Structure 1
Amino acid sequence: MTHATVGSVAADDVPFPPDVIRDLHERMVRIRLFETEAGRLMEAGRLPGFLHLYPGQEAVAAGVMSVLTDADQITSTHRGHGHAVAKGADLRRMYAELFGRVTGYCRGRGGSMHINDLSIGMLGANGIVGAGIPIAVGAAFAGVYRGDGTVAVAFFGDGASNIGSFHEAANLAAVLRLPVILVCENNGYAEFTPQERHMLLTDVADRASAYGMPSAVVDGMDALAVRAAATEAVERARAGGGPTLLEAKTYRYYDHQGVKGLRIQYRTQEEVDAWKARDPITLIEERAAAARVASREELEAVWERTRAEIAEAIAYAEQSPDPDPGDLLADVYTR
């Protein structure tokens, strides 16, 4: 079985309504600004712990989430802020969690890698590589059991496709024809290790054939292409056609953690600049302008509105109280 390749959509042939273009743009802007400010706060020492930032990969989260409902469930990774923002998470509660405040999604106990919101189907980010994949497969099984017509989506990186949990979950999903989409955000590096040094494959999507599962490779810098591939996979899943492995070729602008990272020289500035030249937000803004979907003023208004929302969210988080040490064991045990 071979995988399909979903190519880019030409600027003069936009296949989606204007409201879809605007929706994708706004989701990506929200991710970019949330992460930019979070990175700034971390580098300034105002947040505890480390952050794994998402800038560069916005088209993947936006494209996939734009075809899901709140009832559809997703699992995320240590680089999970973008998925939560694109799924519709509350920015105030997200920042509060990053600050370790009691008003955060996990009451300040989970931090960056464990944000979840069950009300919008966000089952949680996960600090363990590949651990979200079997959880999403379980969620898909539960959806079938309930007969509610929902789908589940697991996000993971190229390195996670080497983990046993990926292979076990993919096999079970295929055998049971579960409504789950496995989305590999292939940014070319498993932390600091380039793909060619941890697998012999060029396309992670080739692994789908071992389980009798359809797959697609998509330009992960192109939100329209991601949405097109995700639409097909979600429709197949809802119709009882089983799972799909969707590989998005993308890139993270920052290092594995933080903005400045550990200063490990594992990639060149030329490589980073080459990917930034295909920035997903710039790409969709150019298409929107060319197709007269939105004016430059309307696009800039999205940035300004989001900057104000993020400033308010940060202020809310900073003014929120710290957790009470007396509540340390609350919610740890059940009766």
Structure 2
Amino acid sequence: MSDLGTLAGRYRMLRLIRGFEELALGLVKSGAITGGIHPYIGQEAVAVGVCAALRPQDRITSTHRGHGHVLAKGAAPDRLLAELLGRTGGLNQGRGGSMHAADFSLGILGANGMVGAGGAIAVGAAWSAVQAGEDRVAVAFFGDGALNQGVLLESFNLAAMWRLPVLFVCEDNGYATTLPASVAVAGSATGRAAAFGIPAVEVDGMDTEAVRAAAAEAVERASAGGGPGFLRCRTYRYEGHHTMERLMKLHYRTPEEVDGWRGLDPLPRGAALLPPGQAADLDASVAEQLAAASDFALASELPSPDSALDHLYADGLRPRPGVPA
């Protein structure tokens, strides 16, 4: 497990997330992961920087592009990979899959396929912590495509009115699926938050250390009773919105645009902060860990069809009155 309190630990987590996503892409291509994934490659600095500012008791909600958040908050890569494969050894016994992985023991309240929905869940988690007298901060990750979702704006309002310990993190990668944010979002991301009186900061989302510093300040303020905060992390995904794009052959970004952002890759920027040779040693360590994760996940059993209705009801299957069992 990486220690996100050190430069080496943060670099190792960057490499782990990147390697995990590359491994998952290969398993999608082979057909082992069905349905595809939303790759996080390129955005790793946001997950690592924010989670480096969190404490074990703090909670997060994630998105459809959530593997990086889940790993950075401490989830075991072998169990997350098994979850993507739909295996019983997964974090949620293969029932959550790529978009709904969760681990409550680590404060991971779940990735979420509904755009912007994690904001309301994080607000609820923060409210419950206040009611219980617990020092917990909740973080809601979301993309720029969520900025026009009513549920997110309602979450801003409640968090501000009740001065809840919530950090809203907008991963602005410039596109809502294939729609440029520049033609879809009126005003600005930070302006959305500022309208509710929430302190809003823009940060280079390709710089792990910049994200960590901004997140740490917001988390400390929220923990001290200062209310919610908002980070707009300007970042970029190098892969498509979803692996299906490889088949659809969409052309909404130019090669020059992608190459320009590759020059800001957070991994070499993180490696440059380490002593000579340390990054290579960490790369090798991560490669070994991911190889073991792949072996574990692929060896894990598929769920029995007989268990398809398990976990749907608190007391098992309960037919409606008058309906034969």
The bucket for the TM-score relative to the shorter chain is: over 0.9
CA distance in 1, matches of 2:128, 2:186: 35
Q: Residue 68 of structure 1 aligns to a residue in which SS? A: coil
CA distance in 2, matches of 1:94, 1:239: 33
Contact in 2 for aligned 1:173/1:243 (Cα 8 Å): yes
Q: CA deviation at 1:126?
A: 0.4
Pick one of 172, 175, 194 that aligns with 1:186.
172
Q: Residue 221 of structure 1 aligns to a residue in which SS? A: coil
Pick one of 23, 44, 60 that aligns with 2:30.
44
Q: CA deviation at 1:207?
A: 1.0
CA distance in 2, matches of 1:319, 1:28: 26
1:218 is matched with 203
Contact in 1 for aligned 2:144/2:172 (Cα 8 Å): yes
Q: CA deviation at 1:19?
A: 5.8
1:252 is matched with 237
What letter matches 2:231 in structure 1?
L
Matched, 1:128 2:114: yes
Pick one of 307, 319, 322 that aligns with 1:327.
307
CA distance in 2, matches of 1:89, 1:230: 20
Q: CA deviation at 1:70?
A: 2.2
CA displacement, residues 222-280 of structure 1 (integer Å, 9 cap, x when unaligned) = 00100010011000000000001110000000000127363211110100000000100
Larger mean Cα displacement after TM superposition, 154-163 or 278-287? 278-287
Contact in 1 for aligned 2:45/2:266 (Cα 8 Å): yes
Pick one of 41, 45, 49 that aligns with 1:63.
49
For these two proteins, the number of residue pairs brought into alignment is 311
Pick one of 54, 73, 78 that aligns with 2:64.
78
* 1:137-286 equivalences in 2 (<5 Å): 137-201=123-187, 203-258=188-243, 260=246, 262-286=248-272
1:298 is matched with 278
2:321 is matched with none
Q: Residue 110 of structure 1 aligns to a residue in which SS? A: coil
Contact in 1 for aligned 2:88/2:302 (Cα 8 Å): yes
Which 5+ residue runs of structure 2 have no aligned equivalent?
A: 316-325
2:18 is matched with 32
Q: Residue 233 of structure 1 aligns to a residue in which SS? A: helix
1:313 is matched with 293
TM-score (ref. length: structure 2) = 0.93
Q: Residue 248 of structure 2 aligns to a residue in which SS? A: coil
Contact in 1 for aligned 2:5/2:52 (Cα 8 Å): no
CA displacement, residues 126-170 of structure 1 (integer Å, 9 cap, x when unaligned) = 011111110000000011111111100000000101100110000
CA distance in 2, matches of 1:65, 1:77: 15
Q: CA deviation at 1:36?
A: 0.7
Larger mean Cα displacement after TM superposition, 205-214 or 169-178? 205-214
Q: Residue 146 of structure 2 aligns to a residue in which SS? A: helix
Q: Which runs of 4+ in 1 moved over 3 A?
A: none
CA distance in 1, matches of 2:56, 2:230: 21
CA distance in 2, matches of 1:320, 1:223: 34
Q: Residue 114 of structure 1 aligns to a residue in which SS? A: coil
CA distance in 1, matches of 2:192, 2:263: 30
Which 5+ residue runs of structure 1 have no aligned equivalent?
A: 1-17, 289-293
* 1:109-120 equivalences in 2 (<5 Å): 109-120=95-106
Contact in 2 for aligned 1:159/1:190 (Cα 8 Å): yes
> Identity percentage over the alignment?
48
